[in-house]
Structure 1
């Protein structure tokens, strides 16, 4: 199922910071991990991902560095910063409030569909 870009846009920061909180990753690795964990619901294109990563870097939430990967190829890795970890906590709080409110409207009450 293709997800509306508006819905995805509101959760992109949360998704990316969550993955980077686990480990440093390079762009294609992020794309594949999001796709795998979401059962292909989240399918980012490189042209979508990299501008967001650059914005996160400009905001101080991540930093990038060059390093050799498992195959010995030089790659640009992204690492969450302390500021990014603080932002992740805030993003999780906002997501919990938002998702609880949506669930109350769409299914939390028997008369929601009446």
Structure 2
């Protein structure tokens, strides 16, 4: 998905399931965050692929404890009824200290089916 194919939307216009995931992720609430995904969802982050809610739950748990950081939602985009991008600014004790990441979501049946996180 290229950003030029997307239209900007306000963050509160993101689907509820994405907002729920982002809020839970920001609060390090793994139990709530994992409920936003389909059973066969895929997450791609930092060059690794996590498939299934069990793998995603492990990834969420590790990412919540590996570093200390703050997350601020800065932008939201929509391509169509199932594809969204949320840009988040992270600052913390990870290498580099600050980064803007694009969270690219695909929604299916009211849940997150795919999430790709890239700079």
| TM-score of the aligned structures, taking structure 1 as reference length | 0.30
Pair member with larger Rg: 1
Q: Which is helix-richer, 1 or 2?
A: 1
| TM-score of the aligned structures, taking structure 2 as reference length | 0.29
